Amino acid sequence: MKVSAARLCSWRRQYGMDTARLELTELREQNARLERLLAEAELDKGGLRENAKRNGEFGGRSPRRGHAQGRDGLVAMLIGSKISRYDPGCRRARSDLASHFGGAMRRPARPSAVRPTMKAIADQVGVSIKSVSRVLNGEGGTSPETASRILAAAEELGFRRNELARGLRQGSRTDTIGLVLKESSSRFFDSLIRGIEEVAEQHELLVLTAASRTPDREKATLLALSARRVDGLLIVPASFDQSYLRPEQAAGLPLVFIDRPPVGVAADAVLSDGFGGGYAAVAHLLENGHRRIGVIGESASLYTISERMRGYHAAFQTHRLHVDNRLIRLDKEGAAAAKAASDELLDMTDPPTALFTLNNKCTLGAIRSLRERGLNNTRALVGFDDFDTADLLDPPLTIVAPDITAMGRIATERLLARINGDNSGPQVGTLPISITCRGSGEIAPA
């Protein structure tokens, strides 16, 4: 006769398995009664396997190793599973039952993924851990034959050295630097990362890159990288206050800011000449005869935008011309908002004859607006910063931009100087900006 899962559960309820604290004597009595019932049930191997699958484990034993062992494991499971969470006295009772059933109550161990260690290599090769350490760290004192065996064992086991732990033990560098930027999906940041990676590769450094997106995320990311013992931080700030980095800097963490200066902490910075770029772009349009020049950009509270707007006003002032503030559209975040701003400007009764956009996203929005209206060849456009397809447009885009890749290289070299012990005062480097005339900025006013 086969015993169903429902019948087994009924026995558990019938013989007191729901009682929270059972005395050892009661457990033994109930176990004996269950033994008698199971013996009368004439369970075959197939029935046991089927019911055990429904009700739990075989107590760590396979039914293939014998009907009696499988049965004992099932009985032990039924009783022991109810008392494993109770007080120490009940746990001792469970231990007594496990002894009675020859260890059948043990659950199978879960497999765990353990990284191979130097000790594992030493055990396999039959040498000391110190010998393994010397070989893996490139030190002498070990015979070529032994070194070869150690390296072969390390390869076979898939050993990877924990560089962070090694650096902490030695009190030395981790050969990692952190890079935190607002986003990583634009030509600007692609070029910046390329310059940083060029220098990092030359010095065998690993760059840990993270996008901050928001001020809160920026703070959490920078502090997390600091806690992971990077040797220094490169930061394109998204927030307006980095004073929370003072304790990290005081503890010896070098900081270099890129594109925007730090606020609340004294540190190195590598910037571009936003004022010069804004001046060059607007002066170029003014010299081509434009007087009504619309400008579209993000928030003027951003350092880069405010500098470019300073250049815009300075160019008008130099040419002794009046700025029409109705042509200024700031606080436009993203291409869609920039397009809407361009639409507003072009729909004015007296629209601008030229547009100056303060970053790539604003440039894209303006291009879409001009093309929709068929004005791309009759309204001049100069954009700040370059992008991959700018020269393929109709007409090709005139831009003002710094060498962003060079900015990344210079910032990384400055950080390395700090890491290597340069204790001089904070330094600020400013890269020049040049204008590249391709056609859109050379359109004369209609």
Three-state SS letters, 274-310? HHHHHHHHHHHHHHCCCCCEEEECCCCCCHHHHHHHH
d(CA 113, CA 78): 31
Q: Hey, which residues does 398 pair with through a beta bridge?
A: 382
Share of the chain above pLDDT 70, in %: 71
Please state, as a whole number, how many other Cβ atoms lie within 10 Å of the Cβ of residue 26.
14
pLDDT given at position 140: 77
Q: Determine the Cα angle at 344 with ends 341 and 347, to 5°.
A: 150
d(CA 168, CA 135): 20
Please state the separation of Cα 143 from the chain's center in Å: 43
The region of weakest confidence among 128-132, 305-309, 317-321, 339-343 is 128-132
Query: One-letter amino acid identity for 111?
Result: P
Chain segment 96-124, per-residue pLDDT in tens: 444 444 444 444 444 445 678 888 888 88
Chain segment 359-373, per-residue pLDDT in tens: 999 999 999 999 999
Residues 281, 356: contact at Cβ < 8 Å? yes
Q: Which residues contact 425 (CB under 8 A, 6 or more apart)?
A: none
104 vs 264, higher pLDDT? 264
Q: How far is CA 109 from CA 61, 78, 112, in A?
A: 12, 19, 9
Chain segment 59-85, per-residue pLDDT in tens: 444 444 444 444 444 444 444 444 343
pLDDT grade for 166, boundaries at 50, 70 and 90: low
Element (H, E) at 436: strand 434-436
pLDDT grade for 143, boundaries at 50, 70 and 90: confident
Chain segment 286-327, per-residue pLDDT in tens: 999 999 999 999 998 899 999 999 999 999 999 999 999 999
pLDDT given at position 227: 87
To 10 degrees, the CA torsion angle through 42, 44, 50, 51? 20
Burial annotation 93-130 (CB, 10 A radius, 16+ → b, else e): bbeebbeebeebbeeeeeeeeeeeebebbbebbebeee
pLDDT given at position 92: 46
Residues 270, 304: contact at Cβ < 8 Å? no
- As to burial, measured by CB atoms within 10 angstroms (0-12 exposed, 13-18 middle, 19+ buried), residue 266 is exposed
- Tokens representing residue 379 in the block: 């309204």
Q: What are phi and psi of 328, to 5 degrees?
A: -100, 125
405 vs 64, higher pLDDT? 405
Above 80 in pLDDT, residue 150?
yes
d(CA 340, CA 365): 8
d(CA 141, CA 98): 52
Residues 83, 94: contact at Cβ < 8 Å? yes
Share of the chain above pLDDT 90, in %: 53
d(CA 133, CA 120): 12
Strands annotated E in 70-205: 176-181
Residues 99, 106: contact at Cβ < 8 Å? no
Tell me what the mean pLDDT of segment 44-67 comes to.
Answer: 44
Residues 446, 378: contact at Cβ < 8 Å? yes
Strands 232-235 and 176-181: parallel
pLDDT given at position 354: 97
Above 70 in pLDDT, residue 358?
yes
Please state, as a whole number, how many other Cβ atoms lie within 10 Å of the Cβ of residue 423.
5
Return the SS3 of 340. Answer: helix
Chain segment 176-230, per-residue pLDDT in tens: 999 999 876 677 888 999 999 999 999 999 999 998 888 899 999 999 998 888 9
Q: How many residues does the chain have?
A: 446
d(CA 319, CA 298): 25
Return the SS3 of 15. Answer: coil
The region of weakest confidence among 113-122, 139-148, 359-368, 388-397 is 113-122
Q: Which residues contact 42 (CB under 8 A, 6 or more apart)?
A: 1
Please state, as a whole number, how many other Cβ atoms lie within 10 Å of the Cβ of residue 153.
21
